[in-house]
């Protein structure tokens, strides 16, 4: 009688896969992820967002197929291996292009084409976000487990974020789906900031998202009153928070060497993010600049986010600059110490020393 070996990918994941979120992926890494039971979308997202060095000759691709790697994942590996196109004459490369601080943006970057019609407005938004990778630009966001579908299908992310642009009032209640008659009081929701709230389906686990973390845009919608993202996490570390009994999962059965193997894969974590705008003033008015600037505060396309985050990591504090200039670069200090005409501004990893209102020294912690 054939033996039945049941493998729960979440349980075995950290025993069989030793990949960190920033490790360079290879053919062997991808095969391990497939055999660990991760979903096709999750692996594809990792290939798209993490460094990769793949061998993709004809024999290599055949070997990958024999190991159970899908054509969708192989196609992502091929795209990742493709060389970056050289910039056209006269164009700035991403490394040399000027970086505009996120917090100071009041208009869309100059290379954004302004829409000429409602159809053009929707096309530009779809091109910017649909199927792309975006990066979280705020701390405090959470993702929820994919909940089981009511009948069939992959289910949906158990955490829904609502953000209300200044052009719309914040409602007293909000329904996450039409089946909920009354909805939940906004005052009872988790709050990220004064205009952003989260509605978590009861009983589902959550995982914290770091600022600067990549998310895959699985679905993107432009509604009459909002812009909506369906996002999934791509980093393996979140899978330790999955509860196999609650999450959406899929079990496949294979026969090999006289043994029947059952493998369970889980969808992992994700979130839905709805940005509400005034229908007439913003969406029907095709205010592409206003919509993008609002979304940029929370989600930024990967290439733009890399420039912003890189600029933040390379802060220069020059001797002689004013205290006001320091605050613009570093924000408010955690502690201020004043002794006579000397003042120390303490930050997490440095102390800036000023004398007569000017920087005289910087000490790294």
pLDDT at residue 177 in the model = 55
Residues 143 and 259 in one domain: yes
Give one DSSP letter per residue of 15-82, joined into a string.
HH----TTSPB-HHHHHHHHHTT--HHHHHHHHHHS-B----SHHHHHHHHHTT--HHHHHHHHHHHS
Share of the chain above pLDDT 90, in %: 34
User: Is 93 contained in some domain?
Assistant: no
Residues 143, 176 within the same domain: yes
CA–CA separation, 26 vs 30, rounded Å?
6
| pLDDT tier, 202 (very low <50, low <70, confident <90, very high otherwise) | low
The predicted model gives 245-253 an average pLDDT of 70
Domain count, the chain: 3
Q: Would 65 be classed as within a structural domain?
A: yes
Task: Answer yes or no: are the C-beta atoms of 224 and 283 closer than 8 Å.
Answer: yes
Cα–Cα distance for residue pair 66/76, rounded to 1 Å: 17
Say if 90 falls within a structural domain: no
Range of the domain at 327: 315-364
Q: Label residue 87 by pLDDT band (50, 70, 90).
A: very low
* Better-scored residue on pLDDT, 205 or 8: 205
Could you tell me the pLDDT band of residue 38, with boundaries at 50, 70 and 90? confident
Per residue in 40-61, pLDDT tens? 878 887 888 788 888 887 778 8
What pLDDT score does 13 carry?
37
Confidence (pTM) = 0.58
Cβ atoms within 10 A of the Cβ of 73, count?
20
- Structural domain includes residue 324: yes
Nearest to 160 by CA among 202, 210, 214, 223: 202
Is residue 250's pLDDT more than 90? no
Q: ∠ CA(88), CA(47), CA(250), 5° rounding?
A: 145
């Amino acid at each position: 009688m054939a033996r039945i070996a049941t493998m729960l990918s979440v349980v075995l994941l950290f025993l069989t896969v030793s990949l960190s979120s920033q490790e360079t992926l290879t053919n062997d890494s991808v095969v391990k992820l497939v055999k660990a039971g991760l979903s096709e979308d999750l692996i594809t997202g990792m290939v798209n967002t993490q460094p990769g060095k793949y061998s993709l000759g004809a024999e290599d691709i055949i070997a990958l197929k024999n190991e159970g790697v899908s054509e969708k994942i192989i196609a992502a590996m091929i795209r990742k291996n493709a060389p970056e196109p050289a910039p056209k004459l006269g164009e700035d490369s991403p490394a040399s292009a000027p970086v505009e601080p996120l917090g100071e943006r009041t208009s869309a970057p100059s290379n954004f084409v302004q829409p000429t019609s409602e159809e053009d407005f929707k096309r530009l938004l779809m091109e910017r976000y649909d199927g792309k990778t975006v990066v979280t630009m705020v701390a405090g966001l959470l993702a929820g487990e994919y909940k089981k579908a009511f009948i069939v299908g992959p289910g949906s992310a158990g955490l829904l974020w609502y953000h209300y642009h200044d052009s719309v009032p914040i409602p007293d209640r909000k329904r996450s789906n039409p089946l909920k008659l009354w909805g939940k009081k906004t005052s009872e929701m988790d709050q990220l900031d004064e205009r952003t709230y989260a509605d978590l389906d009861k009983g589902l686990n959550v995982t914290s998202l770091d600022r600067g973390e990549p998310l895959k845009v699985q679905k993107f919608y432009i509604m009459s009153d909002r812009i909506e993202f369906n996002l999934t996490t791509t980093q393996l570390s979140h899978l330790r928070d999955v509860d196999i009994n609650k999450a959406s999962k899929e079990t496949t059965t294979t026969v090999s060497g006289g043994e029947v193997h059952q493998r369970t894969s889980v969808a992992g974590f994700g979130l839905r993010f709805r940005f509400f705008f005034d229908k007439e003033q913003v969406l029907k008015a095709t205010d592409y600049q206003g919509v993008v600037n609002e979304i940029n505060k929370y989600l930024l396309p990967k290439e733009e986010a890399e420039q912003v985050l890189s600029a933040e990591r390379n802060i220069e504090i020059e001797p002689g600059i004013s205290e006001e200039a320091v605050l613009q670069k570093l924000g408010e200090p955690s502690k201020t110490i004043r002794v006579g005409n000397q003042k120390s501004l303490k930050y997490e990893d440095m102390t800036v020393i000023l004398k007569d209102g000017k920087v005289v020294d910087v000490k790294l912690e």
